[in-house]
Chains A and B, each alone.
Chain A
């Protein structure tokens, strides 16, 4: 119990301290979140050491001073404290009056006054959360952006792969030495200068080099397709010329020889795809003294050489499997008709016709698994003579006649287009009595087709007409 004045002073001081503590805790909470944010930002942005950032703790001191000042300013007035004490002790206004005038004889009734307890609701939970946030800001691993900028970008694999491609293109003669050297220098500088600061620029440069090599490889593939077709065509013509002993006519053969020479020379001209020696051999074979045997050997070596080059390009990843197969297929030639068409498109009509055996579609195929169809167009030579043939006239029965009238053309098949001689008896022979022979040495076989068989026959001719 204390004197009233002392009690008032103590209560005001107690309120000031409790208020200051409450303000300080609130200030610490705010400081904690701001400090933690600053720690995270500085560690991530500039890589400042933790020991340096710990100095932020010193901010608690000015906050404490500010809280104390605020607490002192928010102290209740003496009059209100007296009112509080009067109410708590049921003073009936005496304590309040004591602060305003002399109580005189009533002073003794007041006596000692106990100071009320003051409590503050402190935000301990918020303070703990702020402290945890600060601790997390210090402890969480953060990779500074600057450090990331200093770390070089890992592009070693990409550099190695592009280097291999450039070397392969240079070895195959598809890239000039100067150009390849320039690309190598560029790759080396990329590897030296690549960093995490601007990865986009590095990847763009790598993509540019990749695009150059891809473009070179695509050009090679396209050229290989054409070269392969030329070599295959030249081989086919050479084989045809060597295998044919003047059967297609001297004029056509000489023209075909001349065009073969030109085709071989054109194939040898593209030194990018053929070895120098092979190209030279082709060029020599295509000279004035055209030796078909030597030419064929040279052409086959050229084909092998081109095939090997394509294999190496595929192994180096410069061309894909589809391109490789297409190029190899063009080397093999295959379809004689397409080969003849290729020759026609390249202005070598004589060679194309020669391939066709003097007339379109007459040249036999070479057959084999990788050489295309073996069927050849039917040729008509040495028409058979009607001498010694016996003909027997047969009158068609009415049903056959009726069926003939009801019949309609379902299709045509290959036959001798020459018309039968007028007056020649139509003789039937063979097992089938209904069979009649059409005119011509080849003999078109006709048979009365029952209606139910028409669909099958139609499908046969449709299948014949559709390209294989």
Chain B
């Protein structure tokens, strides 16, 4: 093969590799983006139960109930509340009155089935998306 053709073939192959990567990315993206919503967003937008989403807000005080392996609690952004059901061990830093992010599926507009509850890395930490959402609603308060 002539050197020029070889080089072209090489570049073509490199393009193929990157194109392959791009194809894989686009393919994976459609199904795997997980959007974040607050309880108010859930109420306002019509979210289908099939979508895997994240919800976040504050754990409403006095709503955490353990039933064997299952635990239920309510997540609120002071305007609306979602009931959450979770099977498994809660992260240690999960606490009433603190911010939480849960990932899972919406059962209906009031009920959320969480597959994962995200841990925070210290007790003063508020997940940025929750903080941002609360700030937007003018409900941000500095925790003591």
Genuine A/B complex: no
Residues of chain A at the chain B interface (Cβ within 8 Å): none
Residues of chain B at the chain A interface (Cβ within 8 Å): none
